[in-house]
Amino acid sequence: MTNTRPLHELAGLIPVRSATTALPHYAETEGAPAVCTRQTGARMTDAEAAAAPRFCSHCVAHAEKLAAERAEPASPLTAAARAFADSIEPGDRNEEIRALARRADVDLAHSKNDFEPHFADPAAVITLCHEPVERRLNEEQAARVPVLCKGCAEAAERIAERREAEEAAAKAPVTDPRAHRFDSTREAYDATQWNDEIRDGDVLVIASEKVVGILNLAWPVALTVRHGELHTLAVPISEVGEGRYAESARLAGEQARELHVAFRDDHAPDAEPTVRQVNDMLQAANEASTRVASDPDPEDPQWRAALARLTAAIEFLRKHCPGYAAAVEAADRRPAHLANVARGCAPRHCGTPDVGAALGVLDGLACATLTDEHDMTDPSDTDLPVRGFAVEPRGHGLVAAYWLERGLARRRDDGWHGPALDALADRFKDAGWAVEPLRPSSLCVFAHRPQPDAAQTPAR
């Protein structure tokens, strides 16, 4: 006897109206989405279901599979229904659709105008084929989608291929970077955001601000201690992109040497800086320390940036400026009971970059041990053990170097100790410092630290 029961009864489903179209569907319960994931309306009566010319083909296929599973194992209907249902099994195709969605970073969605699901960008109101988005599918609904709009599938494949090509290019080493010059870091930053001629890995040179950097994907970053409006890196450039910017860093290093500025030390740990690059770093440290000392405010981003520049400059000088490093290390090793004592300068001047540079020039000569209270010009404030040179900063690269005997600064016309001032002056001249002429009555040597924009000083 032929089984005349409706398909929805054989499958354990109910016939329902669509919420948006005239085509009826099957659902597991009233109010639930259709088995094809579409939104549903009211339940249909048996008479209405029997009179319906056709049902959603995806719901029919799902219902026939369920009916086959519920039928008797030995029934011929079982084999026929299962064979038909398996021929349209959506599992493999569904996985392909969801994999494509992940590759293109799109969502599955329904439009108002047709049944087939579509792809849409996560924030878009239209699909990839330009249909209006009615609703987006959740994970459970997306897991049951067996078909996809052809136009959306083709558009998603193009998006996925473009994304994959960009990701592959972003991992490939930069081989031919170019240098671009700008008048300011603000101009450089803006240009990287719109000028297609500036490519990932290209070098940015801003001579007026002594900044050299590169374009890291969409972010212009500085490799020098000074950075202006550019970003900074939290890791060495050699570690960014698994070393893909090695050629960019090499070209940037050449540009930095032309400007007589040095990289932040972690970006070029093996580089041997020139005298002018060291002097420029001393100047950068001086600029940063002035900003840090004036109006300290840990909540101010500019103050924090100045502190970061000062920290980077000090790390560089510790490594490449022996005199400066010795002064800092001596201060670090000072016993608690001598915390107010320094050698070669007053304790309050230990962190001054100009003084640190001068201490490096005079390294090896006898240096006086001073306190902040010592007055080297007061004859009544003599201290027998205090002997040697002492340096004081005068600002803008100028220092005053004294020679002390018995705690008192000696004039050049002092028959016994005056020649020591000539020895100090010779040291500064040999190091490329500009020394003001000495007079018989001179009490100190005035020496100007070489500036990065001065004439080239040979490295020693």
pLDDT in tens, 276-335: 888 888 888 888 887 877 777 778 888 888 888 988 888 888 888 877 766 666 555 555
Instruction: Tell me the residue length of the chain.
Output: 460
For residue 351, how many C-alpha atoms fall within 13 Å in the half-sphere facing its CB? 14
Choice between 78 and 224, residue whose per-residue pLDDT is larger: 224
Q: Band of the pLDDT at 2, cuts 50, 70, 90?
A: very low
Lowest-pLDDT range, 157-166, 327-336, 340-349? 327-336
Indicate if the pLDDT at residue 74 is higher than 50.
no
* Statement: residue 460 has pLDDT above 50: no
C-alpha angle 54/55/57, rounded to 5°? 110
pLDDT, mean of residues 209-237: 94
Beta-ladder partners of 447: 399, 435
Residue 210: per-residue pLDDT: 95
Is residue 355 scored above 50 in pLDDT? yes
Say how far apart CA 17 and CA 218 lie, in whole Å.
Answer: 51
Residue 170 has pLDDT above 80, yes or no: no
Provide the pLDDT for residue 153: 92
The pLDDT, as a whole number, for residue 415 is 87
Kindly tell me if the per-residue pLDDT of 262 is higher than 80. Answer: yes
Angle at 317 between CA 263 and CA 322, to 5 degrees: 135
The residue whose two tokens read 């840090």 is 292
Report the pLDDT value the prediction gives residue 160, as an integer from 0 to 100: 93
The pLDDT assigned to 4 comes to 65
Question: Helix, strand, or coil here: 351?
Answer: coil
E strand residue ranges, 19-106: 25-27, 40-43
The residue-averaged pLDDT of 97-119 equals 87
Backbone angles phi, psi at 21, to 5 degrees: -130, 175
Predicted confidence (pLDDT) at residue 454 exceeds the cutoff of 50: no
Calpha distance 174→91 (Å, rounded) = 42
Percent of the chain with pLDDT over 90: 38
Q: List beta partners, residue 40.
A: 18
What is the reported pLDDT for 195? 93
pLDDT score recorded for residue 456: 44
The pLDDT of residue 121 is: 93
pLDDT at 161 over 50: yes
Average of per-residue pLDDT across 235-250: 91
CB 386 within 8 A of CB 374: yes
Q: pLDDT (tens digit, 9 = 90+) per residue, 7-20?
A: 888 888 999 988 87
Mean of per-residue pLDDT scores for the chain: 84
Average pLDDT over residues 46-54: 86
Q: pLDDT above 70 covers what percent of the chain? A: 87
CB under 8 A, 24+ apart: contacts of 96-103? 97/145, 97/148, 97/153, 98/142, 98/143, 98/145, 100/153, 100/156, 100/157, 100/160, 101/142, 101/156, 103/156, 103/160, 103/163, 103/164
CA distance 383 to 348: 19
Q: Which of 228, 253, 255, 258 is nearest to 238 (CA)?
A: 253
Angle at the Cα of 316 from the Cα atoms of 313 and 319, rounded to 5 degrees: 150
Q: In angstroms, rounded to a whole number, what is the distance separating the alpha carbons of residues 356 and 318?
A: 10
